[in-house]
Structure 1
Amino acid sequence: MITKNFKKLPLLAGADVNVIAVDWYAGAGSINYFAAVRNTEPSGVSVAKFITWLNLETGASLSNYFLIGHSLGGHQVGIVGRNLGGQVPYILSIDPASPGWNFKPERFQKTDGIYTEVIHSNAGLMGYLVPLGDVDIYPNGGIDMPGCITPMCSHDKAVYYIAESMASGGFTAQECSSFFAAIRNKCNLPGSLKMGGLEPKTGISGVYRVDTNAFSPYSMG
């Protein structure tokens, strides 16, 4: 699942895959943000039903799926996965929205998929602050992204990081003891992993930080 702003070309360049883009403008396009929040769950349930139908028609299985969503879509992919029994191999939530979600039981959860990864790029403002997935990554500390002067820019910047990770890899992240350590750039644990990408990192968990360049190419290695 991808939002209209997601760069599809890098996703297609990274592997031989089919991309299903969910157009839920009717539910998310309102000037009333909290109406869009309310519409996130029923639209996610509908997508789960569509996937179930598609599998019955084509013989595909949940093992074939990788769900990606940004902002409200970052919670929506969790709702989709939850309604598919938590059996999707890889769910990637890109800076899941914070306003209206802090006390909602429908918010993204680590059990929504077999492996769940969350990228935080405007944590505590437009994006969710605390860890939600098996792996939570805080690029550049997770709040203000290099090259950005507005929260919206930082909120959206993670989409470009993930697109690049799928096309060319990179983005080696270091393990942190907590999300506070990630924000403060105090990460010194020995673990590391690659942020994003096309393959799940099943069995890995924890909080990580990766620093990026201000402009493309964003990966520093």
Structure 2
Amino acid sequence: MFDLRYWRCVLKKSFSCPDNDVRFYLYTPESGRKRMRIDIRNHLSLPLSGFDPLRKNVILIHGFNGTESKSPMTVLRDAYLYRGDTNIFTVDWAEISRFPCYLSSLSNTRLVAQCTAKLYAFMMDHGGIAEETSCVGHSLGAHICGMVSNHLDVKQHTIVGLDPARPLVDRFGDSYFRLTRDDAHHVQVIHTNAGLLGEKNQIGHVDFCVNGGMVQPGCKGNVVHIARCSHFQSACYFAKTVKQPKSIMGMPCSGMCPKKWTNWGFAPGKPVPMGHDTPYGLQGTYCVETDTKKDCPFN
């Protein structure tokens, strides 16, 4: 049966949090893959869900046509669960970011950012440590991580943008609507489909241009399939660095990403780890070559 609801786009016209279309969940080393819904109106919500203020914190935000319960978010979640030292918060805005409603999803990022900022403040009010808290976003989720700072009194400590979305953002989005290096003390960006689904060139303090930045090994099929697969690979590469410290290294290179042919413009300097263990305060663009041939799972 043809479902008309599939084509019904939701455009949020009011920005009041909490909102039932922006849901927060917590995963802990003790709960594993069992998620706990977080209600920022209930001050017992965090303690009763297993939140440990002495742990590190990560906020994971999916992109267009995504959800917190499918890849690549589950790949990231499981990587942090493997570490066993992190409170893992996921932001689910699937109901207002469905295909084919990209334009309304782009507008709805404002609401998601505002509500996520309230989650961030809620965490800090319950003992969370800002210096131990990171926001990791994929595609439009990367821009949401940046927009969260618009609603905070102080900058976030660390943001990781996984192939931040490019369509329309590059043309119409000002600094309020997109991730920039001004949104946190340390902004890292990983480019895997630069110039197509992902932003190009340097936009953070430190940017990693992986395998030339546009097409990733193991991504086969038509142009659309290759682009989506490459776009998702940014999350899988980062997840690998969460599980295996210093497993992916980059060399200094020119700021242009994607790279043309094999001329990556290497510059003098030592290799540095990409991802979870990238040194705080590092700046510049780094080129990465991986030997992976495994297709990153995506829906």
TM above 0.5: yes
Question: Any gaps of 5 or more consecutive residues in structure 1?
Answer: none
| 1:156 lines up with 2:240 in the alignment | no
Q: Distance in 2 between the 1:173 and 1:200 partners? A: 10
Aligned residue among 245, 251, 254 for 1:177: 254
Aligned residue among 258, 267, 279 for 1:188: 267
**For 1:84-115, what per-residue CA distance to the aligned partner results, in whole angstroms no more than 9, with x for missing partners?**
34532211000000001013111101011110
Q: Distance in 2 between the 1:115 and 1:54 partners? A: 20
State which drifts further: 199-208 or 177-186.
Answer: 177-186
| 1:129 lines up with 2:200 in the alignment | yes
The answer on whether the counterparts of 2:83 and 2:242 sit within 8 Å (CA) in structure 1 is yes
Q: Distance in 2 between the 1:217 and 1:188 partners? A: 30
Amino acid at match of 1:171: I
1:60/1:214 Cα in 2 relative to 1: closer, same or farther (>3 Å)? closer
**For 1:5-52, what per-residue CA distance to the aligned partner results, in whole angstroms no more than 9, with x for missing partners?**
221111122351110010111221252111111111221111001211
In the alignment, which residue of structure 2 is the partner of 1:52?
Answer: 121
Amino acid at match of 2:287: R
Moved over 6 A (4+): none
Q: Which has the larger radius of gyration?
A: 2
The answer on whether the counterparts of 2:254 and 2:264 sit within 8 Å (CA) in structure 1 is no
Question: Any gaps of 5 or more consecutive residues in structure 2?
Answer: 1-58, 63-67, 221-225
Q: Distance in 1 between the 2:167 and 2:117 partners? A: 24
The answer on whether the counterparts of 1:120 and 1:137 sit within 8 Å (CA) in structure 2 is yes
Displacement of 1:59 after TM fit? 2.4
- Helix, strand or coil at the partner of 2:275: coil
Displacement of 1:82 after TM fit? 3.8
**For 1:29-81, what per-residue CA distance to the aligned partner results, in whole angstroms no more than 9, with x for missing partners?**
2521111111112211110012112322x122322311100001011111113
The answer on whether the counterparts of 2:200 and 2:257 sit within 8 Å (CA) in structure 1 is no
Aligned residue among 57, 60, 81 for 2:149: 81
Q: Distance in 2 between the 1:194 and 1:85 partners? A: 31
Q: Distance in 2 between the 1:134 and 1:147 partners? A: 29
| 1:28 lines up with 2:97 in the alignment | yes
The answer on whether the counterparts of 1:66 and 1:91 sit within 8 Å (CA) in structure 2 is yes
Structure 1 length-normalised TM: 0.90
Q: Distance in 2 between the 1:49 and 1:120 partners? A: 29
State which drifts further: 203-212 or 59-68.
Answer: 59-68
Q: Distance in 1 between the 2:257 and 2:117 partners? A: 34
| 1:165 lines up with 2:165 in the alignment | no
Pairwise CA RMSD: 2.1
**For 1:99-157, what per-residue CA distance to the aligned partner results, in whole angstroms no more than 9, with x for missing partners?**
01013111101011110000110000000012110001110010000111310000001
